[in-house]
């Protein structure tokens, strides 16, 4: 007689009972053609009702594990070859960081207390009330019109970009938009990225099945000659505040790049406007797209730094010819950003909340930057330390005078639970000689722990 422990099972008892019988069948304890106990006998033996057994048998019949024969009862179905031993349940391993980190110089998270929760929550409730019907619809492929209009107005006011809302494509994260761009531009082109640069970008292009090459940089940004040598046709660059070097590309190099793009009809420039909102002195620099007269620049930006990375809203501005092609060839895609978040962000921008938030965050980060620099000056002697920055963005480089290799410095710090990235980590080609330049992102630094972490860094660069 089949006996199971059905006490305190989560969910309906009949599902637990059917699951137990199913396991006996798949493990070979019950064989094809074997007669199962009657409903009354199985119910009495397991302390459940006959209705529960009936529901369990019906479930097994519907799934094909059991066959019902009129006036004869229930029989185990012939399932063919069934594995007699369950595969181990630990075959799927999700990689996790094993070391315990107590301080991270290079983390780029947003401070929780700086997010405008009350305003965002109020707008969310309001949008739910005002746009009930829209919330149940599929989003247009480029994003809802009201958000694209708000973004076009923001770009005109703060980035000097005159764009039609139809040129704006909204998506959940830049990685998703990169995938759309590859489909739009084609996988038969060579995509060139900067080195040092964002390693995930290289991984995305390679896993999308396109050829990705690297072009090195000088003190003005990516070298056009390097793009030529690499055979690049699509140049993916970060001209306004390059990550990780912090270089701002001068106007002469920008026009040189535009001239390069105009030499071939298949050449385009993807302009990643990373960190552009946080220029701490003066207005943000003009974008490459705003001086492009030939429609060769694709502009991309995200709200991951200006608001928070958990709000997965990014957007790109396509040249008119590419925008037309997008709607002709890829309009079957639905926008991947939830309708509610799109309407909420649109209202956040239109009503001036975003502008006020950015202005407040500039002041906050300006003060924090000065505090960080003061702590560095107090903890590290000027003879061994130099700060490389240009009053823009939320990170800078710390250049240290030492003979200790960068990787050894990182290893020594990791042993104390301190993480730091060197510029060497972002080299996408052959590894160069250690430059002893380390990334310091101050947007989420714990100022109370910073002196102790800098002291550990000071000790780690000493040659033993």
Q: Is the pLDDT of residue 68 over 80?
A: yes
Whole-number pLDDT of residue 101: 80
Are 436 and 315 part of one and the same domain?
Answer: no
pLDDT of residue 397: 92
Domain limit, last residue, from 76, 94, 125: 76
Q: What digits encode the pLDDT tens for the residues 327-366?
A: 999 999 999 999 999 999 999 999 999 999 988 988 898 8
Which of 60, 76, 92 is at the close of a domain?
A: 76
Any domain includes 27: yes
* pLDDT of 120: 93
pLDDT digits (tens, 9 = 90+) for 264-285: 999 999 999 977 777 766 666 7
Tokens 């550990």 locate to 456
Residue 307 lies in a domain: yes
Give the end of a domain, one of 355, 370, 395. Answer: 355
Identify the CATH number of the domain in which residue 298 sits.
Answer: 3.40.640.10
Q: How confident is the model at residue 318 (pLDDT cuts 50, 70, 90)?
A: very high
- Looking at the fold, whether 134 and 237 belong to one and the same domain comes out as yes
- CATH number, domain containing residue 62: 1.10.10.10
The predicted model gives 14-32 an average pLDDT of 89
Residues 364 and 298 in one domain: no
Same-domain check for residues 273 and 283 = yes
Say whether both 174 and 273 belong to one domain.
Answer: yes
The pLDDT of residue 94 is above 60: no
Distance CA 356, CA 358 (A): 6
Interhelix angle for 339-350 vs 117-130, to 10°?
120
> Residue 434's pLDDT band (boundaries 50, 70, 90)?
confident
The more confidently predicted of residues 27 and 156 is: 156
Residue 216 has pLDDT above 70, yes or no: yes
Per the structure, the count of domains in the chain is: 3
Question: Is a pLDDT exceeding 60 seen at residue 130?
Answer: yes
The token pair at 401 is 């005078």
The listed range with the strongest mean pLDDT (102-111, 142-151, 199-208) is 142-151
Query: What domain range includes position 17?
Result: 13-76
Q: If you average pLDDT over residues 229-235, what whole number do you get?
A: 96
Torsion angles phi and psi, residue 177, rounded to 5: -65, -35
Q: Looking at the structure, tell me whether residues 335 and 364 fall in a common domain.
A: no
Q: So what's the pLDDT on residue 284?
A: 67
311 and 208, same domain (yes or no): yes
- 242 and 153 co-located in one domain: yes
pLDDT grade for 96, boundaries at 50, 70 and 90:
low
- Examine the domain organization and report whether 376 and 361 are in the same domain: yes
Most confident of 47-61, 224-238, 243-257: 224-238
Residue 431, pLDDT above cutoff 70: no
- The answer as to whether 326 is a domain residue is yes
Residue 112: the pLDDT is 73
155 assigned to some structural domain:
yes
How far apart CA 450 and CA 458 sit, in angstroms, is: 12
Mean pLDDT of 378-406: 88
Question: How far from chain centre, in Å, is Cα 377?
Answer: 34
Stretch among 18-27, 360-369, 427-436, 438-447 having the lowest mean pLDDT: 427-436
Is 237 contained in some domain? yes
Is the per-residue pLDDT at 260 higher than 60? yes
Residues 131 and 261 in one domain: yes
For residue 278, tell me if it sits in a domain: yes
Closest to 345 (Cα-Cα) out of 378, 391, 312: 312
User: In terms of domains, do 361 and 348 share one?
Assistant: no
Share of the chain above pLDDT 90, in %: 59
- The mean pLDDT value for 68-75 works out to 90
- For residue 90, being part of any structural domain is answered with no
- Out of 20-34, 76-90, 190-204, the most confident range is 190-204
pTM: 0.79
Residues 348 and 378 occupy one common structural domain: no
User: Is position 6 within any domain?
Assistant: no
Point out the least confidently predicted range of 98-112, 258-272, 384-398: 98-112
pLDDT of residue 95: 56
């Amino acid at each position: 007689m089949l006996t199971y422990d059905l006490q305190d099972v989560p969910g309906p008892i009949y599902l637990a009972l059917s699951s137990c019988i199913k396991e006996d069948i798949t493990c070979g304890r019950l064989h094809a053609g074997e007669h199962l106990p009657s409903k009354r006998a199985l119910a009495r033996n397991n302390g459940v009702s006959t209705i529960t057994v009936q529901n369990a048998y019906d479930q097994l019949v519907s799934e094909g594990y059991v066959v019902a024969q009129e006036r004869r009862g229930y029989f185990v179905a012939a399932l063919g070859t069934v594995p007699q031993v369950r595969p181990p349940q630990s075959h799927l391993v999700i990689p996790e960081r094993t070391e315990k980190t107590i301080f991270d110089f290079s983390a780029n998270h947003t401070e929780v207390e700086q997010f405008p929760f009350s305003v965002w929550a109020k707008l969310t409730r309001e949008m739910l009330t005002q746009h009930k019907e829209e919330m149940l619809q599929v989003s247009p492929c480029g994003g809802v019109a009201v958000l694209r209009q708000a973004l076009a107005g923001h770009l005109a006011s703060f980035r000097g970009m005159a764009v039609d809302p139809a040129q704006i494509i909204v998506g959940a994260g830049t990685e998703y938009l990169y995938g759309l761009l590859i489909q739009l531009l084609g996988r038969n082109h060579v995509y060139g990225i900067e080195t040092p640069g964002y390693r995930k970008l290289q991984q995305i292009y390679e896993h999308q099945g396109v050829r990705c090459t690297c072009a090195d940089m000088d003190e003005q940004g990516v070298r056009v000659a390097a793009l030529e040598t690499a055979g690049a046709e699509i140049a993916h660059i970060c001209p306004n505040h390059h990550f990780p070097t912090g270089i701002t590309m001068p106007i002469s190099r920008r026009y040189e790049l535009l001239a390069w793009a105009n030499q071939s009809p298949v050449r385009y420039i993807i302009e990643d406007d990373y960190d552009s909102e946080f220029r701490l002195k003066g207005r943000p620099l003009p974008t490459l797209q705003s001086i492009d007269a030939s429609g060769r620049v694709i502009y991309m930006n995200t709200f991951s730094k200006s608001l928070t990375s958990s709000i997965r809203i990014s957007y790109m501005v396509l040249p008119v010819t590419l925008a037309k092609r997008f709607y002709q060839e890829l309009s079957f895609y639905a926008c991947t950003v939830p309708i509610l978040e799109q309407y909420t962000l649109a209202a956040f921008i239109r009503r001036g909340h975003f502008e006020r938030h950015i202005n407040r965050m500039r002041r906050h980060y300006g003060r924090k930057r000065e505090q960080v620099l003061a702590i560095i000056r107090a903890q590290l002697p000027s003879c061994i330390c130099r700060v490389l920055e240009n009053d823009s963005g939320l990170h800078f480089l710390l250049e240290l005078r030492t003979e200790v290799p960068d990787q050894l410095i990182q290893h020594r710090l990791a042993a104390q639970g301190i993480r730091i990235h060197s510029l060497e980590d972002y080299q996408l080609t052959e590894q160069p000689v250690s430059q002893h330049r380390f990334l310091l992102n101050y947007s989420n630094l714990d100022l109370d722990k910073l002196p102790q972490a800098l002291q550990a860094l000071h000790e780690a660069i000493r040659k033993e």
